[in-house]
Amino acid sequence: MQIAFQGAAGAYSEAAALKAWPGSEPIACDRFEQVFSAVAEGRASHGILPVENSIGGSIHVNYDLLLQHELPIVAETELTVVHNLLALPGTKMSGIKRVFSHPQALAQCERYLHRLAGVEIVATYDTAGSARLIKEGHLADTAAIASARAAELFGLDILQAGIQDFSDNITRFILIAREPTPLGPPDKTSIAFALHNAPGALFKALSVFALRDIDMTKLESRPARGVPWEYVFYADLGAGRSDVRCSRALGHLEEFAQWVRTLGSYARALPLSRAGIVAEQ
């Protein structure tokens, strides 16, 4: 099982893949778009993508990419993320002038960063990649927010551990593939749909699930590309696509929606509090 992920070795996406699917072969990609390309072109059997964080919210670029590609979701997993402040060996906190990290990681450590007076906060493409930049550039006045594994891989010291604003900092990841075969018994379905702009349109759309007692675990709107002030809705449903209730609800939705697309039907991740998963350091 080859799993493409965005970032450098030591990234949280890599950690999530190895924790959920031990023995898999992670394949690093510079950008999320390249994760989709690696799967579509057969260079990887699967791709893992972060889609939501319990502090920072949704990673919108990956929702947009799901619509642009025909690669279904076949599984999901969760990872408790522990952020650490990393720097070159011997660096003191007083010598830090800049902090590098991915925008999501910066958002998850916002309160901590506000306390660093006079320090420039710089958004980068990746957490582990930020650690690599410091190592390769010999940046003695710069720190990175990344995992403890990234510190080990790139020979950096952990100046401070666990700097995220909340201890229950959980990221949800999805696994995509070329074929829609789920990796476990499906009990969750992700969809996207667009509605005609009319009074009560969203109420009608939500009612097709409420009337059938289907739990909607997520609902979010995103701007429709190329159509100003029109929106695409993303929803997660607490039922498999083959569940009669779910199939009938989606058929009902298709009767009045502009379009409906199933992004995947798969086994939901076991909540971390029940799964007994140890936080990634």
- Annotated catalytic residues are 171, 173
163 contacts 143 by C-beta, under 8 angstroms: no
Please state, as a whole number, how many other Cβ atoms lie within 10 Å of the Cβ of residue 254.
Answer: 13
Per DSSP, what are the bridge partners of residue 234?
192, 220
Sign, CA dihedral 154-156-158-159, equals negative
Question: What is the maximal distance between C-alpha atoms in the chain?
Answer: 65
Centroid of chain to Cα 176: 12
Length, in residues, of the chain: 281
Burial degree of 4 (CB within 10 A; 0-12, 13-18, 19+): buried
Phi, psi torsion values for 144, nearest 5 degrees: -125, 145
DSSP state of 103: H
Q: Which two tokens stand for residue 53?
A: 């964080």
Q: Which two tokens stand for residue 26?
A: 């992670």
